[in-house]
Each structure stands twice: as C-alpha cells, then as structure tokens.
Amino acid sequence: MSQGVGAVKYIVAVASGKGGVGKSTVSANLAVAAAQLGYQVGLLDADIYGPSQARLLGIADGVMPDVIEEKFFIPIEAHGVSAMSMAFLTREKTPMVWRGPMASGALQQMIESTRWGELDVLFVDMPPGTGDIQLTLSQRTRLAGAVVVTTPQDIALIDARRAIEMFQKVSVPIVGMVQNMAIHTCSNCGHEDPVFGSDGGQTLANEYEAPILANIPLSRVIRETSDAGAPISAVDKDGSVAAAYREAAAAVMATLSGSEAPRAPTISMTE
C-alpha cells in the first residue's frame, strides 16, 4: 500500500472562507454519504488549529493512529470513512500555538505520511480563510474540485465568494455549493422560518454557475448527532437530511468522473 495521496483518485476540498457555517459537519456527512454509496472514502481534517473531525466521527480523545515503519500513519476508520486529523495526534485541550509555516508543515506531513491507500475520493475539511493552509493544499495535492459551504446570510456569502475566487485563482473547479442552515422548521407547529435569510446561496451559485448540491436545514437533531459523534447521515439513513447528503455526494462523484484528470494548479500571486 502506498503512502500519501498517490493512489487517491479524486481529492475534493470542502471550504467556506468563514468559520461557523457548519463546514466540518457538512464534510463529515458528505464523506459518510459517499461511503454509503459504495465508494472508498477518506476524510482529511486540514483545520490544524481547530480540528473537529475526531468529535464529529465519534473518535475518543486520546485515540491515536497506528504508525508503521516508524513514519507512516494508518487512518482511523469511522462510519466507513478513513480519517486523519491533527486531533488524533494531540488532546482536545492542547492548543496548536504555531506560526503559519509550522501549521503548513503539519498539514504536509499528514498528506504525505498517511497511508490512504486506493481511495475513490478524499474529502478535505478546510480551515476558514484563504491563507497558508489553502495554498499548501493547492500546491501539494491534485485538487479535483471544491465544494463551498455557506449559509444564506449575507456576511457568510461574502466569505464564500472569497473562497470561490481563491479556488479560481489556483485553477480548481467549483463542483458545487451546499447551503447550510437554509431553513428552520418549528418542531411544535411546523412553521418554516429562514433564520439566516433565503436564497442567498442560490444567488451566489447562479453568479458562479455552480449547482446547489444540497439545502441542509437548521436542525437541533443535526447538532445533537454531531456532538454525539454520530453524523446524521449514519444514524438516520432513511431521513430527509441523510438523503440530501447522499444526493450531494452522488452529484459530486458524477461531476468528478465526467471531468478531465486533475492537474497541479499554477499559483499566481498577482491580482
């Protein structure tokens, strides 16, 4: 089995540009949904400073990946997904007080020193922003595309637009967008309330000619299952949210299989 991502067919970044929009939850559920569709799936938590995939996937604090030949990590399996995260190498209470180059080096090591094996797709849960980590991933991997996560709120759309523009600068296609917290349905009366606004994600998707892959509701159940380490795609397979994630994962894979082979991007620092 080869180390690194050499045997990974497609690498897909899941990004938002802004924190707090549920990007990590979307990443975990997309990965689980793709695995349910029969694909070999990996999930790389690239948020070095605030890794959350261990908690989302139900991997206990302190569980560490096996190391072979004294230098290669074996991903931890959870819900049919092979996962790697800085959270597996530290404890929940340990802050990563690092400068940018150190964080980029840690990400590079996780990419190159993990034995991912032959995966159909590796989803990468990106940190907020458009800085060192994003450039490292673009330079060190063959990104096949990106999924951008946003809420309908104007302030989230501003940062989602920045994320899209960043990927365009490094020649990474936008596979689609997930509009998270799109609607809230009252559990008592059934009234639907667009807490964060409506149609903002669709407007942005139209602007960049990218499809909306899923509209995910603002739901207490999603929050509860995420906190419990059991993604809703895994624990409520027959539910509407799980179905939406499976449709989104199927659309991502269909788009990737119909696209040209990914190539290394050219990094341009000019405006």
**39-49 residue pLDDT tens:** 999 999 998 88
pLDDT surpassing 90 at residue 94 = no
pLDDT surpassing 50 at residue 74 = yes
Q: What integer best gives the mean pLDDT of the chain?
A: 87
* Interval 45-63 mean pLDDT: 91
**239-258 residue pLDDT tens:** 999 999 999 999 999 999 98
Task: Give the pLDDT of residue 198.
Answer: 75
Dihedral (Cα; 208, 173, 234, 195), 10-degree rounding? -20
Selection from 201, 122, 110, 120 nearest residue 161 by Cα:
201
Task: Give the pLDDT of residue 270.
Answer: 47
Task: Give the pLDDT of residue 267.
Answer: 44
β-sheet with 8-15: strand ranges across: 76-78, 81-85, 41-45, 119-125, 8-15, 143-150, 174-179, 212-215
Task: Give the pLDDT of residue 192.
Answer: 77
Share of the chain above pLDDT 90, in %: 58
Task: Give the pLDDT of residue 96.
Answer: 64
Mean pLDDT lowest among 11-15, 36-40, 169-173: 169-173
Radius of gyration of the chain (CA): 18
Cβ burial of 243 (10 Å; 0-12, 13-18, 19+) is middle
Instruction: Please indicate whether residue 259 or residue 271 has the higher confidence score (pLDDT).
Output: 259
Q: Are residues 163 and 154 in contact, defined by beta-carbon separation less than 8 angstroms?
A: no
Q: How many Cβ atoms are within 10 Å of 23's Cβ, its own excluded?
A: 27
**144-159 residue pLDDT tens:** 999 999 999 888 999 9
pLDDT surpassing 60 at residue 13 = yes
Q: Are residues 147 and 12 in contact, defined by beta-carbon separation less than 8 angstroms?
A: yes
How far is residue 255 CA from its own chain's centroid? 17
pLDDT surpassing 60 at residue 261 = no
CATH second-level architecture of 8-257? 3-Layer(aba) Sandwich (3.40)
- The domain ranges of the chain are 8-257
**Can you name the residues that pair with 148 across neighbouring β-strands?**
15, 177
**168-226 residue pLDDT tens:** 988 999 999 999 998 877 777 877 777 776 778 889 999 999 999 999 999 999 999 99
Task: Give the pLDDT of residue 266.
Answer: 46
Task: Give the pLDDT of residue 271.
Answer: 45
pLDDT surpassing 80 at residue 87 = yes
Phi, psi dihedrals of residue 143, rounded to the nearest 5° = -65, 125
Task: Give the pLDDT of residue 255.
Answer: 95
Residue-by-residue DSSP string for 235-261: H-TTSHHHHHHHHHHHHHHHHHHTSPP
Mean pLDDT lowest among 2-6, 15-19, 56-60, 144-148: 2-6
Q: How many CA atoms lie within 13 A of 199 on its CB side?
A: 2
pLDDT surpassing 60 at residue 141 = yes
Mean pLDDT lowest among 44-58, 228-242, 251-265: 251-265
Instruction: Dihedral sign for Cα 259, 262, 263, 264, please.
Output: positive
User: Could you give the residue ranges of the DSSP H alpha helices within 113-171?
Assistant: 132-140, 154-169
